[in-house]
Protein backbone atom coordinates (compact mmCIF):
# COMPACT_ATOMS: atom_id res chain seq x y z
CA UNK A 1 0.00 0.00 0.00
CA UNK A 2 1.44 3.36 -1.00
CA UNK A 3 1.75 6.31 1.34
CA UNK A 4 0.87 9.65 -0.25
CA UNK A 5 1.93 12.76 1.67
CA UNK A 6 0.33 16.05 0.64
CA UNK A 7 2.01 19.32 1.63
CA UNK A 8 -0.47 22.19 1.49
CA UNK A 9 1.19 25.52 0.81
CA UNK A 10 -1.79 27.87 0.96
CA UNK A 11 -3.02 29.73 4.04
CA UNK A 12 -6.58 29.27 2.68
CA UNK A 13 -7.85 25.97 4.06
CA UNK A 14 -10.67 25.87 1.51
CA UNK A 15 -8.63 27.51 -1.20
CA UNK A 16 -8.09 26.33 -4.73
CA UNK A 17 -4.89 24.37 -4.21
CA UNK A 18 -6.47 22.72 -1.15
CA UNK A 19 -9.48 21.72 -3.30
CA UNK A 20 -7.17 20.12 -5.87
CA UNK A 21 -5.28 18.40 -3.06
CA UNK A 22 -8.56 17.03 -1.71
CA UNK A 23 -9.33 15.63 -5.15
CA UNK A 24 -5.92 13.98 -5.42
CA UNK A 25 -6.35 12.61 -1.91
CA UNK A 26 -9.79 11.20 -2.76
CA UNK A 27 -8.43 9.58 -5.93
CA UNK A 28 -5.44 8.14 -4.09
CA UNK A 29 -7.64 6.77 -1.27
CA UNK A 30 -9.97 5.18 -3.80
CA UNK A 31 -6.89 3.55 -5.34
CA UNK A 32 -5.96 2.05 -1.96
CA UNK A 33 -3.26 4.49 -0.79
CA UNK A 34 -2.87 5.89 2.71
CA UNK A 35 -3.14 9.67 2.41
CA UNK A 36 -1.65 12.14 4.91
CA UNK A 37 -2.01 15.92 4.57
CA UNK A 38 -0.09 18.70 6.27
CA UNK A 39 -1.18 22.34 6.32
CA UNK A 40 2.19 24.07 6.37
CA UNK A 41 0.69 27.43 7.29
CA UNK A 42 -0.39 26.05 10.69
CA UNK A 43 3.10 24.95 11.60
CA UNK A 44 6.17 26.61 12.97
CA UNK A 45 8.69 26.14 10.17
CA UNK A 46 11.70 28.39 10.37
CA UNK A 47 13.81 29.34 7.36
CA UNK A 48 16.96 27.35 6.59
CA UNK A 49 19.90 29.08 8.30
CA UNK A 50 22.41 27.93 5.73
CA UNK A 51 24.68 26.79 8.57
CA UNK A 52 25.33 23.50 6.75
CA UNK A 53 25.59 21.68 10.08
CA UNK A 54 23.34 19.08 8.48
CA UNK A 55 26.09 18.26 5.98
CA UNK A 56 28.76 17.46 8.59
CA UNK A 57 29.81 13.83 8.70
CA UNK A 58 28.48 13.27 12.21
CA UNK A 59 25.28 15.25 11.59
CA UNK A 60 21.92 13.78 12.34
CA UNK A 61 19.54 15.98 10.41
CA UNK A 62 18.69 19.65 10.74
CA UNK A 63 19.70 21.45 13.95
CA UNK A 64 16.64 23.74 13.97
CA UNK A 65 14.17 22.50 16.55
CA UNK A 66 10.77 23.30 15.09
CA UNK A 67 7.83 21.51 13.47
CA UNK A 68 9.96 20.42 10.53
CA UNK A 69 11.29 17.72 12.86
CA UNK A 70 7.84 16.07 12.71
CA UNK A 71 7.74 16.37 8.92
CA UNK A 72 11.10 14.72 8.20
CA UNK A 73 9.89 11.22 9.22
CA UNK A 74 6.73 11.69 7.13
CA UNK A 75 8.83 12.68 4.11
CA UNK A 76 11.01 9.66 4.70
CA UNK A 77 8.15 7.14 4.86
CA UNK A 78 6.15 8.58 1.93
CA UNK A 79 6.22 6.87 -1.46
CA UNK A 80 4.64 9.91 -3.08
CA UNK A 81 4.92 13.57 -2.07
CA UNK A 82 2.38 16.01 -3.49
CA UNK A 83 3.14 19.74 -3.34
CA UNK A 84 0.02 21.93 -3.49
CA UNK A 85 0.54 25.67 -3.81
CA UNK A 86 -0.96 28.91 -4.99
CA UNK A 87 1.27 31.10 -7.12
CA UNK A 88 2.38 34.01 -4.95
CA UNK A 89 4.50 36.63 -6.63
CA UNK A 90 5.26 34.46 -9.64
CA UNK A 91 6.33 31.29 -7.83
CA UNK A 92 5.46 28.89 -4.94
CA UNK A 93 4.01 30.32 -1.73
CA UNK A 94 6.50 31.16 1.01
CA UNK A 95 4.94 28.48 3.22
CA UNK A 96 5.91 25.78 0.75
CA UNK A 97 9.29 27.31 -0.07
CA UNK A 98 10.26 27.39 3.62
CA UNK A 99 9.56 23.68 3.85
CA UNK A 100 11.42 22.83 0.64
CA UNK A 101 14.48 24.83 1.74
CA UNK A 102 14.66 22.65 4.82
CA UNK A 103 14.92 19.56 2.60
CA UNK A 104 18.60 20.51 2.38
CA UNK A 105 19.23 18.32 5.43
CA UNK A 106 17.78 15.23 3.75
CA UNK A 107 18.13 15.90 0.05
CA UNK A 108 21.86 16.04 -0.69
CA UNK A 109 24.15 13.20 -1.76
CA UNK A 110 24.07 10.09 0.38
CA UNK A 111 21.50 11.64 2.68
CA UNK A 112 19.00 12.04 -0.14
CA UNK A 113 15.74 10.44 1.01
CA UNK A 114 13.86 11.55 -2.12
CA UNK A 115 15.70 9.46 -4.72
CA UNK A 116 13.21 7.15 -6.40
CA UNK A 117 10.18 8.71 -4.71
CA UNK A 118 7.39 10.19 -6.79
CA UNK A 119 6.71 13.92 -6.60
CA UNK A 120 3.62 15.68 -7.94
CA UNK A 121 2.65 19.35 -8.12
CA UNK A 122 -0.74 21.05 -7.83
CA UNK A 123 -0.63 24.72 -8.71
CA UNK A 124 -3.22 27.48 -8.96
CA UNK A 125 -2.76 31.07 -10.12
CA UNK A 126 -5.15 33.92 -10.82
CA UNK A 127 -4.04 35.12 -14.23
CA UNK A 128 -5.38 32.92 -17.01
CA UNK A 129 -2.00 32.89 -18.75
CA UNK A 130 0.51 30.56 -17.01
CA UNK A 131 3.42 32.69 -18.27
CA UNK A 132 2.03 36.03 -17.08
CA UNK A 133 0.91 34.53 -13.76
CA UNK A 134 4.38 33.17 -13.05
CA UNK A 135 2.98 29.63 -12.91
CA UNK A 136 5.68 28.52 -15.34
CA UNK A 137 8.36 29.59 -12.85
CA UNK A 138 6.95 27.24 -10.24
CA UNK A 139 6.51 24.44 -12.77
CA UNK A 140 10.11 24.85 -13.90
CA UNK A 141 11.36 24.94 -10.30
CA UNK A 142 9.45 21.75 -9.66
CA UNK A 143 11.11 20.07 -12.63
CA UNK A 144 14.55 21.17 -11.41
CA UNK A 145 13.82 19.97 -7.88
CA UNK A 146 12.79 16.52 -9.14
CA UNK A 147 15.86 16.25 -11.35
CA UNK A 148 18.21 17.35 -8.56
CA UNK A 149 16.68 14.91 -6.08
CA UNK A 150 16.53 12.02 -8.54
CA UNK A 151 12.83 11.86 -7.81
CA UNK A 152 10.25 10.84 -10.39
CA UNK A 153 8.03 13.60 -11.71
CA UNK A 154 4.69 11.90 -11.16
CA UNK A 155 2.40 14.61 -12.51
CA UNK A 156 1.46 18.27 -12.53
CA UNK A 157 -2.07 19.65 -12.38
CA UNK A 158 -2.34 23.40 -12.78
CA UNK A 159 -4.84 26.02 -13.73
CA UNK A 160 -6.33 29.42 -13.09
CA UNK A 161 -8.73 30.52 -10.34
CA UNK A 162 -8.83 33.50 -8.01
CA UNK A 163 -11.58 33.33 -5.37
CA UNK A 164 -11.42 30.75 -2.59
CA UNK A 165 -12.63 27.38 -3.90
CA UNK A 166 -13.54 28.74 -7.33
CA UNK A 167 -11.56 25.95 -8.97
CA UNK A 168 -14.43 23.56 -8.17
CA UNK A 169 -16.25 25.03 -11.19
CA UNK A 170 -13.49 23.81 -13.47
CA UNK A 171 -14.65 20.23 -13.98
CA UNK A 172 -11.79 19.32 -16.27
CA UNK A 173 -9.10 20.17 -13.73
CA UNK A 174 -11.08 18.57 -10.88
CA UNK A 175 -11.27 15.35 -12.87
CA UNK A 176 -7.57 15.57 -13.76
CA UNK A 177 -6.66 15.92 -10.09
CA UNK A 178 -8.80 12.94 -9.09
CA UNK A 179 -7.29 10.80 -11.86
CA UNK A 180 -3.77 11.82 -10.80
CA UNK A 181 -4.60 10.59 -7.29
CA UNK A 182 -5.75 7.22 -8.59
CA UNK A 183 -2.61 6.92 -10.74
CA UNK A 184 -0.34 7.83 -7.83
CA UNK A 185 -1.91 5.09 -5.74
CA UNK A 186 -1.91 2.39 -8.36
CA UNK A 187 1.09 3.02 -10.61
CA UNK A 188 3.95 0.57 -9.99
Contact residues toward ligand FMN (CB under 6 A) are 10, 12, 15-18, 86-90, 124-127, 133-134, 161-162, 164
Question: Is 108 or 126 the residue whose CB approaches ligand FMN more closely?
Answer: 126
DSSP SS3 for 170: coil
Question: Residues 6 or more apart from 7 whose CB is under 8 A from it?
Answer: 38, 40, 81, 82, 83, 84, 96, 99
Residue nearest to ligand FMN (CB): 15
Closest separation in Å from C-beta 56 to ligand FMN: 37
10 or 170: CB nearest ligand FMN: 10
User: What is the C-alpha to C-alpha distance for residues 38 and 85, in angstroms, rounded to an integer?
Assistant: 12
The distance of closest approach from Cβ of residue 186 to ligand FMN in the complex, given in angstroms and rounded to an integer, is: 26
Q: Which segments of the chain does DSSP mark as H helices, in order?
A: 16-30, 68-77, 94-101, 104-107, 130-133, 135-149, 171-186
- Rounded to a whole number of angstroms, the minimum distance from the CB of residue 185 to ligand FMN is 23
The number of beta carbons lying within 10 Å of the beta carbon of residue 70 is 10
Residue closer to ligand FMN by CB (options 25, 31) is 25
Work out how close the CB of 24 gets to ligand FMN at its nearest, in angstroms, rounded to a whole number. 13
Amino acid sequence: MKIVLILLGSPRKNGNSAVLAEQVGAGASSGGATVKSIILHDLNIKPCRGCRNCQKEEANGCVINDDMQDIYPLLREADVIVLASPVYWFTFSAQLKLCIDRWYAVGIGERNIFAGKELALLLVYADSDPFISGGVNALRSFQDICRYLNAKMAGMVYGSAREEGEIRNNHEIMEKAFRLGVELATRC
